[in-house]
Amino acid sequence: MIAFPGTSFLCAFHRRQDNSPAAAAYFKAMREPLFVSGLLLYEFRQNVRFQVWLHARDKSRSYGQVDCDRTLADLKTDLDTGAIVVVGTDWSDVLRLAESLSQRRTLTGGHRSLDVLHAATALH
């Protein structure tokens, strides 16, 4: 089975969190690279930068620019070495899948649009 992570996995793998040991163990045990979409990378990088913005407004929250730069550099290393591989995405197909998932699941599950797009990208 090909692993296709969510943003929370990348966060746990690249930033120290309670679930980081589990993410690191899973990553180490993988026999293939970790496949990601451009959408996932965008959301991860955006989140890392947003944490700097939060920290600038309240030093007790999140983390600063140095940690941001280190996190993004670690991600770049994983991409450059092939440990993480970006898969191509046909956005027309993904959007059709997302619309279908939304119609079937959002009224009962309350899913956010970006979460539906991630699920559709993984299915694609």
The residue ranges of every structural domain in the chain are 1-88, 90-124
Q: Flag the least confident range among 20-34, 51-65, 77-91, 98-112.
A: 20-34
For the stretch 93-116, pLDDT in tens is: 999 999 999 999 999 999 999 999
Given CATH 3.40.50.1010, say whether it is the number of domain 1-88. Answer: yes
Q: Would you say 97 and 120 are in contact if contact means Cβ atoms under 8 Å apart? A: yes
Q: State how far Cα 100 lies from the chain centre.
A: 22
Has this prediction a pTM greater than 0.75? yes
Helix (H, G, I), strand (E, B) or coil at 112: coil
Q: How far apart are CA 102 and CA 22, in angstroms?
A: 30
DSSP states along 44-75: HHHHHHHHHHHHHH-TTSS--HHHHHHHHHHH
pLDDT value of residue 6: 83
Cα Dmax for the chain: 43
